[in-house]
Amino acid sequence: MKNVLFIASEAVPFIKTGGLADVVGSLPKYFDNEEVDARVLIPKYTCIPWELRQQMVYKTHFYIDLAWRSQYVGVFEMEYDGVTYYFIDNEFYFGGPKPYSWIHEDIEKFAFFCKAALSAIPVLGFKPDIIHCHDWQTGLIPVYLHERFAQGEFYKDIKTVMTIHNLKFQGIWDLKKVKDITGLADYYFTPDKLEFNDDANYLKGGIVYSDKVTTVSPSYAEEIKTPFYGENLDGLMNAKANNLVGILNGIDYEAYDPKTDKRIKHNYDQVTFRKEKYKNKLDLQKELGLVEDKNKFMIGIVSRLTDQKGLDLIAYVMDNLCSDDVELVVLGTGDEKYENMFRHYDWKYNSNVSANIYYSEDMSHKVYAACDAFLMPSLFEPCGLSQLMALRYGTVPIVRETGGLKDTVEAYNEYENKGTGFSFANYNADEMLYIINYAKDVYYNHKREWNKIVDRGMLTDFSWKTSAKKYEDLYKNL
């Protein structure tokens, strides 16, 4: 039996800004209880919904030193969905309307969090064999464990796993300031440790000092060894290659189930989608003021509107895309230039394009359930969860072959009757448009083939069960 403590900056249902929260909040539920006792520790942000905060039970408090100040650390606990969660309380750091702010504030906030989390472990009544760290916010945990906590008998045999959810975010800040905040000796700020282009890099520290490094898909694990995807850490990734593993994320198959989903009006499954799925399309067309036609090819995009997601490719071919036989539904927020681009096309092609520049969980489920295809032409995609949700809802993904998209969407092959979606290889707008038109042709002119693609997609299993098994094996081998 392995005791595993997940330490992260967010977890559903408490706080979520991205896919990281889904992983930390979902994965622990899927471990075999005989093999792994997994618990989670996150900050007790004041922006966690009140109905959850009031269920947290105070355990204890103490003080730690950070830089030159003595800081309060409160420890709270609660059980949710069969998993024990711990929370580190300090309103000076975790107050405010959202979990992250300016990077210089976050650098200090998460140095405090790492130190407080390690200091709190002995009072939890739970001794982990493995601490599973997530992203740069917890990068200092393996470092501190090697440094000041190494002397403590309690911490002696604890192993660490560092999971990279997105290598783009590394927690980089001024070296002198970081030295001052963390209290780490000069020894730790050399190019083979935390130093990075004359600054300090939290994620790099976590990678260097952890026992295993994982990332969220096998393809991404290979890609980050190359200069294009490596975000200036490709050298380190190659050096750690023997300890680097890619394990695909899953999605919660109970939360995302078209058969029982309360957020959609017409439920369906892999057997009934031909008769039921289109009714969700008609509902959405009506709600968004689009032309109401059950046969029209509807493409969905649910995404952060940023460069990473390939939206410059979409911008380039938007006029070609918005033809009369296509409807486009966009949901999400992000860079102003993309928000305004979609608003502009909504205005220009009003009856065929709907730009919903906000985010809502309810609306996202409606889009997955209503659309025929789901577009995700990412520049890079560590794992990607949207394409997994699309497959689950029988909405055919059209993706670029990168990272997790390449690992989860099998390209349609009309000669061998294989495939669960459509994909293109090069980051090129014309290539993307060609594939979208190919998908559209299959949809309109080879309906039986299209339905078989939907069928195969709905039969794939990207639930957490599969990933949990792989993590269990990883823990065992540590």
pLDDT in tens, 273-296: 999 999 999 999 999 999 999 999
Confidence tier at 152 by pLDDT (50, 70, 90): confident
Confidence tier at 150 by pLDDT (50, 70, 90): confident
Please name the helix (run of DSSP H) or strand (run of DSSP E) that holds residue 422, with its range, or none. Answer: strand 422-424
Edge-to-edge strand list for the sheet holding 57-66: 57-66, 69-80, 83-89, 36-43, 2-7, 130-134, 159-164, 212-215, 244-246
Residues 201 and 332 both lie in one domain: no
Confidence tier at 17 by pLDDT (50, 70, 90): confident
Count structural domains, the chain.
2
Conformational region of residue 197, where left means phi above 0, alpha means psi within -120 to 50, and beta covers everything else: left
CATH code for position 409: 3.40.50.2000
pLDDT of residue 18: 82
pLDDT of residue 69: 85
What is the chain's percent helix, strand, coil content, to nearest 5?
40, 20, 35
Residues 317 and 199 both lie in one domain: no
Q: Using CB atoms within 10 A of its CB, is residue 103 exposed (0-12), middle (13-18) or buried (19+)?
A: exposed
Between CA 38 and CA 29 the distance in angstroms is 8
Q: Using CB atoms within 10 A of its CB, is residue 82 exposed (0-12), middle (13-18) or buried (19+)?
A: exposed
Q: What percent of the chain has pLDDT over 90?
A: 95
Has residue 373 been placed in a domain? yes
Has residue 264 been placed in a domain? no
Residues 70 and 199 both lie in one domain: yes
Has residue 259 been placed in a domain? no
Confidence tier at 270 by pLDDT (50, 70, 90): very high
Residues 225 and 342 both lie in one domain: no
8 A C-beta contact, residue 2 and residue 118: no
Q: Read off the pTM.
A: 0.93
Average pLDDT of 98-111?
96
pLDDT of residue 252: 87
- Rg, the chain, Cα only: 23
What's the chain's average pLDDT? 96
Among candidates 92, 91, 87, which has minimal Cα distance to 76? Answer: 87
pLDDT tens-digit series, residues 291-345: 999 999 999 999 999 999 999 999 999 999 988 899 999 999 999 999 999 999 9
Residues 85 and 113 both lie in one domain: yes
Q: Which domain holds residue 354?
A: 273-459
Among candidates 441, 405, 440, which has minimal Cα distance to 423? Answer: 405
Q: Which residues pair with 299 in a beta bridge?
A: 328, 373
Has residue 277 been placed in a domain? yes
Residues 239 and 277 both lie in one domain: no
Q: Which residues pair with 251 in a beta bridge?
A: 463
Average pLDDT of 6-29?
94
pLDDT of residue 384: 93
Between CA 25 and CA 38 the distance in angstroms is 11
Among candidates 297, 316, 314, which has minimal Cα distance to 305? Answer: 314
pLDDT over 80 (residue 5): yes
Average pLDDT of 121-127?
95
Among candidates 365, 393, 387, which has minimal Cα distance to 374? Answer: 387
Residues 228 and 283 both lie in one domain: no
Residues 472 and 443 both lie in one domain: no
What number of residues does the chain have? 478
